[in-house]
Structures are given as C-alpha cells and as structure tokens.
C-alpha cells in the first residue's frame, strides 16, 4: 500500500471549511464536515476508514450526512486516529484511566516542552524526544494489541513499499513515513486478537522499528537508535518468526560496529546465528557482520574463519540481486567483506572485493550509502598504503556525491577515521581540505536540523 496524502495536525488549528474555521466544526463534533474537509485535501475515505477504525461504508455515510456520530468511544477514536487535539472536540482522558501510551500522553520536545504533533519532512528537524514518545507508545501497544485482519494485508503492503524505497531515501524522509505507520499500529492496537493475527501485527511492528532504528543510526542518534532496536527485537520475538528474529538481531549488530564496541556486534551476531541451524540470508548477514567486527577487534584468525562461514551460508541461502531493504544479495556480502579485509589490513583483498561490489552496485546505485561507505573503506586502505592525499580525495568525493540530506553522521564519522589515521604532521593539503569539508558538512547538517553532532 502506497500511503497517499497524510493528515497534517496543523490543519485543525489553521484549516478553513466552507469559509469558516474548521475549529468551529470540531467544537460542534460535526464529523461529517471533518471527513469532507479531509477528503477535499486529498485524504481518501479509505485512508480515513483505516485511521479511525470505522468501516469504509460507514465513513461514506457519515461524510454524506446519512449517519451522525454521537458515541463518545467513536468520537474519541476519530480524534486519536486523525491527530485532532482532544480539547478541540471537548474530549478528555478516558474516565476509566485505560490509556494507550502515546495517544494518552502529550507530545514532548527533547527539552520536555509540550509541542504539536510533528510532521517530519525534508529539511525539518527530527525531534528525538518525539520519536522516543512514539517508541514508548509502540512498546505499550505491543503489550496489549489487536487489529482486524482486513487491515493487516494493507499494513504489510505498506511496510513492503517502505522497504523498497528505504535504501535510496534520506533518513529524515523515511522517519516521516515510518512514524505514520507506527502510529497506525498503535491506533489499531486496542485489544488482543487471536495469536495468528497478533503475530502478523508484531511482524509489521518489528520491520517498522528496525527501519526507524537504522535511519536514526545513520543520523548518529545512537541512544535512540539502540532503544528502537530493542523495540524491534521484542516485536520480532513476539511474532514467532525465526527468520525475522535473526534479521532484527543481525541489523541491530551494526549499531555498535559503527558507534560503539565491536564486541557487542559479535555478541549480537552470535545470538542471531544461535536462533536456528537453518541457512538463511539473515544468517549470512549475521555471519558477515560478525566477521567484520572480529577484524576490527584484531582477531584475524577468527575473522577469516567467520568470512568462510558467511560465504558458506550465502552460497546456501543468499538472496538474488535486489535493492530492497534487509535483503542480502552478493553485493551486500562484498560490502561486508570490504570492511573485514580493510580492518584486517589486507588492502589487496579489500581493493578486490570493493571493485567487484562497485561493479554490482552499478553506475547509478540505488543504495548510495553502501557505495559511499565502500569508498570510505578504500580511503582507509589508501592511508595504510601511504597514499594519504589520494585517500582524502576519495573520502571527500564519496560524501560529495550524495545529496545533502544523506551526508549523515555515519559517513562523517568514517571520514574522521580516515583523517585520524594520517599522522598530524602530514595533515596538510588534501587531508586538511577533507577536514574542512567534514566540518562544513556538519555545520550544514546543523542548519538542516537532520542530525546531531557526535564528535569534534
């Protein structure tokens, strides 16, 4: 399902319907006017039906004025589903005190101030405090959730579409899309359903949370990314899907590799591999991630053994060529092997797999961040081979080729690794230019408001 026009919470304070403020219709609880107001702004009646958990036929009848909405429970569900502030419709908190996490709590900024519900887009700030509230609400929903089976197909299709566009989209754009679907999981999570339905809902939540975590990792929001990975692992375990449980742990293992202790990467990868003896592409990912982390820890013999394991699993169950998120085709295996050989100091082996990987990614890669990180691996190898100026040019070009919204902390941190490998006395010329360029990229990121600075 490709989600169309999203409900913008700002409409409820500034919108006008038939020449009058929409707030007047909200105060009168004129749901017919509210639905027609949304439809005029491109929100389909089908989308409204999903958000408010009312049948499509009934939504159409309400919009036409054939039916009226007077039941408090339905009015409340409409307010929650459409992000209408409760006071605008004269609705308070549930009198029985049975709240549902995020929907019963105010939105908070990182500083703890009350804020309007956010709509994140290109060039707008990603408020990690708001994301934290969303994650906590999702955790609460998973603990006591239910959804009609007819909604699950649509939600799974939506997740599949997110996974298709995720590799080429900027983190900020993806977080905007993912927040909408995460919120929908919560809206549809009111009471428990049969186990099979709950398992599918948890599977959807696991993939949404994993994409959110990965986007936050790319932005350098390490602490919140770690929490979202925790949510993803809990949801995957609740789904009962072994392949998904392996995948989520293998993905979570990336965070400490880039922004923490590679020993934790090894532990997470081994936990993923221990879940099943059946070969799978997520298992190949876990084995490749383990090899790369072992190499960074200096455990050369173990790393080379792990390379063999990753190749064996991939030969049995690797994915065909694809750019869909969380799949593991040959070019992704080579991407991981590039990092492994680079950390081992085997520059000849690293150059070889980098060339092969770049050939498979192609001239116009659909996964630009992978290609950027491959180039930064090459920069590290060039420094090791005493070609510092060439390394600096390669690193700068790797970042410059990306759109500004994708020049994120995960790349800038790796570029700093290249700089730090050059002796201070030699940090002149192209190396100095790279240093200035990384600093300028961080300043630009501050202005865009899409990432936090995690270092000097």
Please provide the average confidence, as pLDDT, over all residues in the chain.
84
Judging by beta carbons within 10 Å of its beta carbon (0-12, 13-18, 19+), is residue 18 exposed, middle or buried?
exposed
Band of pLDDT at residue 435, cut at 50, 70 and 90 = very high
How confident is the model at residue 385, as a pLDDT? 96
Give residue 4's pLDDT band: very low, low, confident or very high (50, 70, 90).
Answer: low
pTM for the full predicted model: 0.68
- Domain residue spans in the chain? 1-92, 96-240, 256-366, 370-456
Q: Is 111 exposed, middle or buried (0-12, 13-18, 19+ CB in 10 A)?
A: exposed
Q: What is the pLDDT of residue 118?
A: 44
* pLDDT for position 448: 63
- Taking the mean position of all CA atoms in its chain, how far away is CA 252? 12
Looking at 166-175, 206-215, 255-264, 422-431, which range is the least confident one? Answer: 166-175
Tens of pLDDT, residues 14-63: 888 887 889 888 988 889 999 999 988 888 888 898 898 888 888 888 98
CA angle 369-3-285, nearest 5°? 35
The pLDDT, as a whole number, for residue 328 is 96
Convert the pLDDT of each residue in 61-118 to its tens digit.
898 887 888 777 788 889 988 989 888 888 754 333 333 333 333 333 333 333 444 4
Residue 116 confidence (pLDDT): 44
User: In whole angstroms, how far apart are CA 410 and each of 98, 269, 415, 419?
Assistant: 41, 20, 9, 15
Question: What was the pLDDT predicted at 147?
Answer: 57
Angle between the 368-384 and 388-400 helix axes, to the nearest 10 degrees?
Answer: 170
Res 151: pLDDT: 66
Per CATH, domain 1-92 is 1.10.260: yes
């Amino acid at each position: 399902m490709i989600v169309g026009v999203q409900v913008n919470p700002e409409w409820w304070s500034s919108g006008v319907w038939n020449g009058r403020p929409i707030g007047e219709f909200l105060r009168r609880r004129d749901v017919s006017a509210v639905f027609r107001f949304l439809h005029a702004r491109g929100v389909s009646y089908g989308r409204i039906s999903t958000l408010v958990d009312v049948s499509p036929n009934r939504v159409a009848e309400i919009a036409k004025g054939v039916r009226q909405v007077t039941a408090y429970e339905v009015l409340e569900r409409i307010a929650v589903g459409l992000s209408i502030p409760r006071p605008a419709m004269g609705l308070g908190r549930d009198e029985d005190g049975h709240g549902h996490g995020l929907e019963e709590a105010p939105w908070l900024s990182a500083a703890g101030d009350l804020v309007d519900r956010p709509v994140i887009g290109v060039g707008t700030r990603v408020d990690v405090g708001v994301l934290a509230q969303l994650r906590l609400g999702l955790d609460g929903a998973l603990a006591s959730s239910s959804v009609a089976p007819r909604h699950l197909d649509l939600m799974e299709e939506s997740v599949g579409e997110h996974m298709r566009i995720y590799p080429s989209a900027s983190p900020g754009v993806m977080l905007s899309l993912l927040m909408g679907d995460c919120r929908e999981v919560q809206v549809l999570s009111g009471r428990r359903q049969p186990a099979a339905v709950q398992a599918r809902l948890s599977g959807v939540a696991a993939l949404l949370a994993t994409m959110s975590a990965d986007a936050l990792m790319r932005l350098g929001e390490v602490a919140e990314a770690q929490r979202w990975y925790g949510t993803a692992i809990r949801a995957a375990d609740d789904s009962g899907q072994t392949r998904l449980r392996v995948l989520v742990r293998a993905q979570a293992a990336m965070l400490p590799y880039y922004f923490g202790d590679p020993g934790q990467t090894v532990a997470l990868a081994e936990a993923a591999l221990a879940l099943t003896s059946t070969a799978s592409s997520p298992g190949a990912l876990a084995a490749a991630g383990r090899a790369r982390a072992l190499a960074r820890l200096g455990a050369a013999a173990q790393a080379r053994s792990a390379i063999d394991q990753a190749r064996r699993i991939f030969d049995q169950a690797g994915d065909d060529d694809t750019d869909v998120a969380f799949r593991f085709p040959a070019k992704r295996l080579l991407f991981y092997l590039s990092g492994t050989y680079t950390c081992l100091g085997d520059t000849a082996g690293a150059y070889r797999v980098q060339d092969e990987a770049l050939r498979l990614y192609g001239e116009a890669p659909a996964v630009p961040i992978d290609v950027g990180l491959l180039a930064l691996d090459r920069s590290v190898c060039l420094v090791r081979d005493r070609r510092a100026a060439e390394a600096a040019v390669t690193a700068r070009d790797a970042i410059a080729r990306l759109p500004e919204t994708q020049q994120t902390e995960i790349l800038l941190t790796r570029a700093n690794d290249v700089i730090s490998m050059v002796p201070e006395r030699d940090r002149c010329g192209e190396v100095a230019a790279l240093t200035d360029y990384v600093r300028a990229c961080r300043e630009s990121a501050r202005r865009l408001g899409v990432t936090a600075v995690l270092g000097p």
